[in-house]
């Protein structure tokens, strides 16, 4: 939930724009921007009618940031990578849906699950993302890439497979 819109936009598009303005393109070889799979479906004529407005807003802002990186890189003839990471999880994580589901049992809290858990997500382990970034730094690839494992899992199936108490999900 966005609490301060000015802060949200300052930390996304405004700070990125200031950073790009400060870069001397002759001193770098490649830009790698970490984006999000949320950009898919972020532009929708019904955006204001959606229950998940903040997710769509986040995706739209990420898409705007991608365009800033692409524009800057093209203008300055730089290699760039837009890495669209799907649902990342891993050790020490406390923000992903995976960690939230796992913490349900531990903290005996309730978790709001949209769409009755029918949402399908592509998950990727943080160590795999680190390996991919290491390879991106070494090679000359330029453009957009999706980072995920390539197959989807329903949130409901994760909950069912972990045999969690259904009453903890709203």
CA proximity to 165, closest of 118, 112, 104: 104
Render each residue's pLDDT in the chain as its tens digit; 170 residues.
677 888 888 888 999 999 999 999 999 999 999 999 988 865 445 544 445 556 678 888 999 999 999 999 999 999 999 999 999 999 888 888 888 888 887 777 788 887 888 889 999 999 999 999 999 999 998 999 999 999 999 998 988 888 777 666 76
CA distance 32 to 13: 16
Residues in the chain: 170
Cut 0.85: pTM above it? no
Do 63 and 37 form a contact (C-beta atoms < 8 A)? no
62-93 pLDDT, tens digit each: 999 999 999 999 999 999 999 999 999 998 88
């Amino acid at each position: 939930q966005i609490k301060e819109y000015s802060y949200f936009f300052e930390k996304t598009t405004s700070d990125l724009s200031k950073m790009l303005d400060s870069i001397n393109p002759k001193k770098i070889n490649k830009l790698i921007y970490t984006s999000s799979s949320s950009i898919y479906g972020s532009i929708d004529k019904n955006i204001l009618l959606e229950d998940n407005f903040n997710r769509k807003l986040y995706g739209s802002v990420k898409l705007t940031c991608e365009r800033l990186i692409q524009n800057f890189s093209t203008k300055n003839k730089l290699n760039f990578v837009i890495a669209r990471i799907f649902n990342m999880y891993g050790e020490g994580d406390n923000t992903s849906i995976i960690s939230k589901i796992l913490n349900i049992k531990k903290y005996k809290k309730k978790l709001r699950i949209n769409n009755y858990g029918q949402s399908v997500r592509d998950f990727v382990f943080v160590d795999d993302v680190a390996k991919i970034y290491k390879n991106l730094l070494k090679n000359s690839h330029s453009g957009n890439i999706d980072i995920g494992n390539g197959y989807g899992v329903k949130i409901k199936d994760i909950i069912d497979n972990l045999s969690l108490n259904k009453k903890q999900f709203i």
